[in-house]
Amino acid sequence: MVLRYFMLGLSSNKIASETGLERRRVLRALNIIREGMLQDIPGVFEGAVEVDETYVGGQWKNKRKVQRLQGTKRGRGTRKQPVFGILCRNGYVWAELVPGVEAATLLPLINKRVKRGSVVYSDTWRGYTGIAANGYVHRLIDHSKGEFSDTKGTHINGLEGFWGYLKRYLASKGGIRRERLPLYLAEYVWRFNHRKYSNKEQVTQLLKMLYNYKHIHNN
């Protein structure tokens, strides 16, 4: 029941009310579910993929006073947490918190998550310099010139759409502490990758995933 209500988007308070469980037990259960989702990583992508980065942050009340007074920048150069993502145009996505968005960080992740020979779509950020040299077909879209797509299918609209949904989802939680962001990011990635499943199918997949996670964790 907890899994079913969780996938329906009910809050921890509502789940506790519906199941008769103490809220602290529900919160613990939800953390375990997200920890399992964090381990459920898609396989290596191939074909046509989009790469991009975005920035997310916790509630202002969780930041130091000096940070609140100074405010925050938007985009690259912000104090917020950078997130890097890869979306395969077959409908799956992978995303991870990263320490920075320079090539030294992003290229190894692309090499690990994307099969050589694939077509990689990105914007013109310098962090993507070197993709072609690593054995990929690199297609770029220049946002600074007002370009967002072309007739050849060059765009990163799929991943930018995912970022938009992610930020709205995080905002709906009322703000999340930075140390908890990996779990909530993993949850949303999992929800996106299983969005075509029915609630019953999602719960079945989660039960299998949690069984495997528990088995590995206990060993």
Tens of pLDDT, residues 36-55: 999 999 999 999 999 999 99
Which pLDDT score, from 0 to 100, does residue 45 have? 98
pTM (two decimals):
0.85
Computed over every residue of the chain, the mean pLDDT equals 87
69: pLDDT strictly greater than 60 = no
For 87, counting Cβ atoms within 10 Å of its Cβ (0-12 exposed, 13-18 middle, 19+ buried), the class is buried
pLDDT tier for residue 117 given thresholds of 50, 70 and 90: very high
The per-residue pLDDT for 55 is 94
Domains of the chain, CATH where assigned: 2-39+189-218 (no CATH), 48-176 (3.30.420)
Instruction: Tell me the three-class secondary structure of the chain, residue by residue.
Output: CHHHHHHCCCCHHHHHHHHCCCHHHHHHHHHHHHHHHHHCCCCCECCEEEEEEEEECCCHHHCCHHHHHHCCCCCCCCCCEEEEEEEECCCEEEEEECCCCCHHHHHHHHHHHECCCCEEEEECCHHHCCCHHHCCEEEEECHHHCCCCCCCCCCCHHHHHHHHHHHHHHHHCCCCCHHHHHHHHHHHHHHHHCCCCCHHHHHHHHHHHHHHHHHHHHC
User: What percent of the chain is predicted at pLDDT more than 90?
Assistant: 70
pLDDT at 211: 86
> pLDDT at residue 1 above 80?
yes
Q: Residue 1 has which token pair?
A: 């029941």
Nearest-angstrom CA–CA distance, 170 and 97: 14
- Mean pLDDT over 201-210 rounds to 93
